[in-house]
Structure formats: C-alpha cells, structure tokens
A and B are shown apart, each in its own frame.
Chain A
Amino acid sequence: MIRESYLNWLILLGLLAVPIWALTADEPFTITLATRAAILALAAVGLNIALGIGGLVSFGHAMFFGIGGYVMGILAYHAQSFTPLDLGAFSIAGTKSMPIIWLVALILSGLAAWIVGLLSLRTGGVYFIMITLAFAQMFFYFSISWSTYGGEDGLSIYVRNGFPGLNTLDPIQFFGICFVLLCLVLFLNARLQGSPFGLALNAARQVPARVETVGLDPMRIKLLAFVISGAITGLAGALFADLNRFVSPTMFSWQMSGEFIVLIIIGGVGRLMGPVVGASLFVLLEHWLGGLTEFWHIYLGTILLLIVLFARGGLIGFLTGKEGAHV
C-alpha cells in the first residue's frame, strides 16, 4: 500500500515525464496524446469538485465543455474572418489570444452553471442526473441547428490561438500551457478541499440537514461548487478545441458527459488525482487498444466493468487500500 500523497506526486511527475521523453525521442504524436490526457483530466477535475466532494452527479458536464469549445471557436472564427461579432446592442472583434478566450470561457460556462444549477438543484438523486443531461441535450441540439457556426459540421480554426511569449504551434509548449493550468486547478482543488467551504460542501453531501442546523445553506454551497466545477470544465473545453483546432456539437454530446464520469471513476471518486489517473489511462487505452483492434470498446467496457465490480474506490483506492467518497 502506498501513501496517497506520494502517489499523487508520482502521477503528476509521470504525466510530465512522458512528453519530455517524447521530446528527446522526437515523437511529437506522444506529446499530443499527453496534452489530450492533461486537458481531459482538467475537465474531469472540474467535474470531480461537484461530483466527488459535493456528490452532485452531473450527467451534463459536456454542456460546459462545449460552451468553452464554442467560445474559442466563435471568437477565433471572427478573428480569422475579420468580421466583428454582432451582439445586438454592440459588436466586438474576435480574438486569437488564449488568455482572453480562457477568461470568456470561464465566465460564460460559470454563468451557465449558475443558471442550470439554480434550476437543477431543486431536484435530487436520479432526477438531478437526468435534468443535467436534459440541459446538455438542449445545447447539443441547439449547436446542431445553429448554422452560422457550422451546425452539424462544426467549425474549423486554421491556426492555433496564441499565448504571449510562447509558440503554441510547438506541441511541447502547448503541452506546457495545459500542464501548468492543470497544476493550478489541482492546487486550487487541494486548497478547496481543506478550506471551510470544502468541508461544508463535503458535509452537505453527507448530511445536508446537519449543515442546515449549524446555520449554513446547503443549496448555496452546492450551487457555488457547481459554478466552480462548470467554469473549470469550460476552460478545459476551450483548450480541447484549441488542441484539435476544431469545435463541433460532439463536444456537447451525452457520450462526452459519460466519458468524464468514467474518467473520474477509473481514477477514484473524490480523489485529488483521480481524474489525472483516469484521463491518462483512458487516452493510453484508447491509443493502444484502438491500434490493436477496431473493436477496442469491447475491451474498454470489460475493463470498466471489472473496475466497478472489483476495484471500488478506483485505481487510487486500489493502490492506497482506502475506499473513496461515497456518492
């Protein structure tokens, strides 16, 4: 059995070591795979705050992922076509600058999470799972019929957006950006878990009535957690769109939401590094099994089943010998 804090550092170093090795071995594709893992991990870290600590099983986080993606797509599309974005009362120019795109993605997905959370948190249990799914489906169908930005075909961005002082077209530099953001969010998550807010959120998942008795409003705590969670997943969406230089309604699909949940459960629900382990393993399996057989989903399904049935607490729970949070 390994101490979880040692394991966490080991996992983070592992994710950093792979692309550095790939750089020396001149394998740019491996760097792209690691970048993909880092971005998916970031999205799942976002979900893990709502799901793991707060017990809010959202089956609609693809909604925020897609909002982030479309923020990047729309702003960059207006910048590359030199047409201003008309917002009715006023119009703004598009941008190819990552920090601005991130900020807009964080704000808009956080705002969406606030509205969706306000409505969804009235329900609980299975109903919460399903109402979040319904909101994501609304965005999915809306993006399909929104022909201004490509509709079903999606939107291609020809050149990756820029970051001051860096060449984002270089795979290792783009990986660096994603990795630093992932570390920042993980740090935030770790601080949050130990903070009074994190403790209250944890308590609101376990015994909402008792939280209320000590004078806290569990609804407000959960809503704030949902907003933070949605904003982080939105940021990941903007990065994901930049990685592929492409946005499409698939980013809003329910399979995407399902994938985020899968990433968290593989790693371990409520674990700080659970999403990182889950995303790395998922990308690895996708690449390795996908190269081995066209029907790799059968093996993925079998592995997932075995994890659910025999490794409760995910891989980190399995390695540290401790069960995870109960959701």
Chain B
Amino acid sequence: MSTILIIEQVLNGVQFGVMLFLMAAGLTLIFGVMGLINLAHGSLYMVGAFAAAAVAGATGSFLLALVAALAAAAAAGALIEMVVIRRLYQAAHLDQVLATFALILIFTEGTRWFFGSFPLFLDIPDYLSGPVTLPGGIQYPLYRLALIAIGLAVGAGLWWLIERTRLGIQIRAGENDREMIAALGVDISRLYTLVFALGAALAGLAGALVGAIQSVQVGMGEPVLILAFVVIVIGGIGSIRGAFVGAILVGLTDTLGGIFLPGFFGLFMAPGAASQTGSAIASMAIYILMTLVLIWRPSGLFGARA
C-alpha cells in the first residue's frame, strides 16, 4: 500500500472527524450545560442541509446557502427549545429520550411532507471544486480540504468563545451550578436558548457542508446522530476537548478500518473470507472502539461526571 494512499485516507478520516466534531460539539455543549440528551440533534443537521439546498437552488450562491443553513437550524433550535425542550430540563433522561425521539418523527415526516421523498442536490461551488496538489505530489479535492479548514476554524472559535468571552464564562458557570448563576442575575433561560441555538447552528452548518458531498435527503441526520453520540461518549460527555479528540478518533477509525482491515485479515485468511470478515469488523470498528474506551474509562476520555 502506497504512502500516497495512506495520506489520502488519513485526510479523509480527518475530514470526516472534523464534520462529526461540528455535530458532537453542539450535542456535548447541550448536555454539559443543560443536562439534556437531545436525540433531535440529527434533525437540526437535516434542517440545515435542506435550507442550504433550497437557498442554493433559488439563488445559486453557496455562501448564501451556508448562511441560510446556519440561520434555519438556529431558528429551529431556538423554537424547539422554547416550545418543548425547556419543559424537559428537570425531567428524567428517559423522558428526554422519548420527547426528542418524538421530535425526530415530527421533523422527519414534516420535511418529507414539505420537500418530498426524493433527495435534493447541493453543488460544490466552482471556486472550491477540483483537486489541489499537496506537497509530495498528492492530488486531493479542494472542497474536502476546505471542510477540514472550516471545521478547525469553528473548533478554534468555539474554544475562544468558551474560554475567553463573557458568554463563555456564563456557560461554564452554568455547567457547574445553575442555581448559583441564576442567583447572580444571569438570565438562565435566555442563556439556555442561546446555547441550544448555537449547538443547532453548528449541526445545521455540518449538514449543509456534508450535503454538498452526499445527497440531501430525509433521514440523513440519524446515522450522523448515532455517530455523534459515539463521539461524545468516547470523549466524555460535556467536554468540548473530548468531543474533538473523539471525533478525530472515530473519523480515522471508520475510514482507515474500511480500507485496511480487509487487507489485514488477508494476511492469515483466504481472500474471500478475509474481505468479508474485514468489512464486517470495519463496520463495527467504531462501536468496538467505544466499548473498549468505556470499559477502560467508564466516563469517557475527558469526562468528569457520569
């Protein structure tokens, strides 16, 4: 196996991981601050992708489409926070799971009703399409590089927001003691709506960005949602740093496992059986990773509380 192929696959893995991070960051933030399990996060990803596809179809501008994705997902997030989620903060995890499961059903069928069952397409803009040549003569799609850059930039921005701004202080304080910061005069319900909308916007952005390389269709959010949960559980729920490390780990494991495991089993098995066993193990690889991490550290790599 050539070095070029390996580097390409590592880049693919990082790109996948970075997009998972956008999803996982919102999810882990919402759990960390509000203690809420939000299964409907995948629906916000879908909302972002559909808003982007609709706006790109109407205006032809990719940038406007991204703005629309951010705005639509943030608005949808703020809306469900104020109408439904707000009543669930004190409820048991089980009630939260059920209520947000119900929201998935409503969002999925609502989108199908509005846009139909056929997938929409979101094109990569001209200035981001085509390959670039990296040092070492590796040809790699520019759009995927742009995704990595955007993901890293968002990660840095999020770090700055949480560690260096007033809002970030309030968010961190909210994680530790919500009664106390409410007593100090912070409007806690506004803060919660804001955090929820922020997480939703990140999910919507991820949906729009990934929508341009895959198709935009109903139900696209749920597979990503499950992966994002795997990510935050590996990283430790509530930790943004954990979400980042977990996302890259999951992205690399999934991408590299699919490429290298069949070859690995080929070392000591017959070719046919090796490729079948290899691809079976590869599709289970991230869940095996997560199980191993949890057996080793029951509250994730960077998790403080269970």
Contact = CB atoms under 8 A, between A and B. Distances in A.
Interface string B98-115: 110111111011101100
Range class of the B interface residue count? 35 or more
Contact of A137 (B94, B105, B226, B299): B226
Contacts of B279: 145
A279 to B, nearest CB: 15
Contact of B95 (A133, A146, A298, A312): A312
Contacts of B103: 301, 305
Interface string A240-270: 0000000000000010001001100100010
A266 B27 CA distance: 26
A262 B295 contact: no
Range class of the A interface residue count? 35 or more
Given A145-B279, A261-B94, A295-B112, A138 B287 contact: yes
A3 interface: no
A125 interface: yes
Contacts, number: 134
A129 B102 CA distance: 18
A59 interface: yes
A261 B233 contact: no
Interface string A136-150: 011001101111000
A137 B229 CA distance: 12
Contacts of A305: 84, 99, 102-103, 106
A142 B291 contact: no
A126 B92 CA distance: 11
A308 B95 contact: yes
A144 B283 contact: yes
A309 interface: yes
A181 interface: no
A9 interface: no
Contacts of B287: 134-135, 137-138, 141
A289 to B, nearest CB: 11
Contacts of B99: 304-305, 308-309
B105 A301 contact: yes
Contacts of A326: 92
Majority SS of interface residues in chain A?
helix
A297 B106 CA distance: 7
B93 A258 contact: no
Interface in A274-295: 295
A125 B306 contact: yes
Nearest to B232: A130
Interface in B44-95: 84, 87-88, 91-95
B37 interface: yes
A3 B91 CA distance: 26
A222 B98 CA distance: 23
A119 B294 CA distance: 9
B263 interface: no
A300 interface: yes
Interface in A19-77: 51, 57, 59
B286 to A, nearest CB: 8
A123 interface: yes
The 6 closest A-B pairs by CB, nearest first: A301-B105, A304-B102, A301-B106, A145-B280, A141-B283, A297-B109
21 contacts: A51-B94, A122-B294, A126-B233, A127-B233, A127-B294, A127-B298, A127-B300, A130-B230, A131-B290, A133-B229, A138-B291, A141-B283, A142-B284, A144-B283, A145-B283, A147-B276, A296-B109, A297-B108, A301-B106, A309-B84, A327-B92
